Structure 1
Amino acid sequence: MALRAEHEIHKRRRSRNVGVGIALAGFVALVFALSVVKINTVGPVEGFDHTPRASALPPQEPAE
């Protein structure tokens, strides 16, 4: 069985696939970077678990 030369359409498909792969990798990197920046900026996030949180309650004055 002889080796066949690569057709031009395969070269075009490969270059298009490489371009789509680079664009996808760039998008993933952008989302990751934005997530890291948001997490570092906001700080720890408290989840919503249907219970009152001390940090969400208004400050109470000390009882006399």
Structure 2
Amino acid sequence: MTHDEQELIRRRQKGRAIVMALLLLAFVALVFFITIVKIKEGMAH
């Protein structure tokens, strides 16, 4: 495998890792905000 091929694979892996990190962050934020809303609903009753 040439150096250029290895570099291309590394860039693709890095891109996928960034996308996965962003998706995970979005999921965590969604769960956090849903939890906050449910807590506030519980306090209102």
TM-score band (shorter)? 0.7 to 0.9
Please state if 1:24 is matched with 2:28: no
User: What residue is the counterpart of 1:38 in the other structure?
Assistant: 38
**Pairwise CA distance, 1:43:** 1.2
Query: Equivalent pairs: percent with the same residue?
Result: 32
CA RMSD after TM alignment: 2.1
Number of paired residues?
41
Structure 1: gaps of 5 or more residues: 45-64
2:18 alignment partner AA: V
Moved segments of 4+, more than 4 Å: none
Amino acid at match of 2:19: G
* TM-score, normalising length: structure 1: 0.58
What are the ranges of 5 or more consecutive residues in structure 2 without an aligned counterpart? Answer: none
Following TM superposition, by how much is the alpha carbon of 1:12 offset from its aligned partner in structure 2, in angstroms? 0.1
Deviations 1:4-56 (A, max 9, x none): 77710000000000000000000000000000000001118xxxxxxxxxxxx
